[in-house]
Structure 1
Amino acid sequence: MTDAREWLVMWLRDAHAMEEQAETMLAAQAERIDNYPELEQRIRQHLQETKGQADRLRECLEGMGEGTSVLKDASGKLMATAQAVGGAFAGDEIMKGSLVSYTFEQMEIAAYTAIIAAAEHLGETKVAEAARTNLQEEVAMADWLSSHLPGTTRAFLDRAAAGDPAAKR
């Protein structure tokens, strides 16, 4: 039977893989944005935050005498790459990317909320603090995406209606 500590370690590894996936996804997305500079800038900022989040998670695992999961990390990166390739063929790539990003942020928020509860339950205060920091950054990104989605949508629709072939990016 798996004990609470093992669950926390598993969830930290999952979260690390999630951040590895996010890093790949954000980097690909930022490279493909041509006409939405505010969105591109915020994605690049969050890409740096994401790298810091992965580092914090790695430090948490190491502090518990554990390591990351190479298999989970590689799987996450592979999924993000496949997603980026698929999105490149969409006529509304900027919209699909925005929706996926917002959805992914919500998953990260849920994951960190659970990790905080588990870490507090086990008295792992450093893990809980690191997860809180990551959570704050994820909430800020989700809020930003949510508040800017209407403007991105209108800009996309205006460009598309004008026949701009680069509206999608």
Structure 2
Amino acid sequence: MSVPQNPRDLYIDGLVNARALETQAIQLLSRQVERLENFPEMARRLQQHITESEQQRDRLDEILSNLGTSASGLKDLVTGFMGNMAALAHAPMQDELLKNTFANYAFEHFEIASYKGLLVMAEVAGDNRAPSALRQSLQEEISMAQWAEETLEPTVRRYVMLKAEGAKAI
């Protein structure tokens, strides 16, 4: 039999995990932006989302502070490292751009699910202050996911055309 957990503690764990996820997103996208040469519009949108992710992380810090706690530095370190390793793992591959495009699409949907879950946890835990900040972050993630979906087909087409011409496709 498992030990019962307080909804507030579960909510705080969720917030800490979401903050670590934002740290991972920042690291992952930063490594991608550094390497994009032939996709300047993608680089601009990823850079914009890095800024949004930094703001989301700040919002999560504020929520945690209001709850009398803070983020886990170790969890941030580990997830930031994982984000860097994931980005580096795609770098030597011929189809790095495609792998990053597909991974970003999936990652945005994971973040959407995380924020939706946090909104439920906030309600169950009785936190009436955080939902507006969580909804703002959720909307930013939805917007990024929509962009990822809208640009998926054109990105793949452009990638294939560049490769067919023998051009660098990143």
Instruction: Say whether 1:61 aligns with 2:64.
Output: yes
Structure 2 equivalent of residue 84 of structure 1: 87
Structure 2 equivalent of residue 136 of structure 1: 139
Compute the displacement of 1:71 (Å): 1.3
What is the TM-score of this pair, normalised by structure 1? Answer: 0.96
Aligned length: 167
Post-superposition Cα deviations, 1:26-82, rounded to whole Å, max 9, x if no partner, equal 111111111011111100000000000000000000000011011111111010111
Unaligned ranges ≥5, structure 2: none
Q: Which amino acid aligns with 1:94?
A: L
| SS of corresponding position for 2:130 | helix
Q: How far apart, CA to CA, are the structure 2 residues paired with 1:4 and 1:122?
A: 5
What is the TM-score of this pair, normalised by structure 2? Answer: 0.96
Q: How far apart, CA to CA, are the structure 1 residues paired with 2:144 and 2:88?
A: 23
Structure 2 equivalent of residue 4 of structure 1: 7
Q: How far apart, CA to CA, are the structure 2 residues paired with 1:146 and 1:69?
A: 32
Structure 2 equivalent of residue 49 of structure 1: 52
How large is the Cα RMSD of the aligned pairs?
0.8
Post-superposition Cα deviations, 1:68-102, rounded to whole Å, max 9, x if no partner, equal 01111111101011111111111011111111111
Instruction: Say whether 1:158 aligns with 2:161.
Output: yes
Compute the displacement of 1:121 (Å): 2.3
Q: How far apart, CA to CA, are the structure 1 residues paired with 2:61 and 2:151?
A: 32
Percent of residue pairs identical: 36
Instruction: Say whether 1:118 aligns with 2:121.
Output: yes
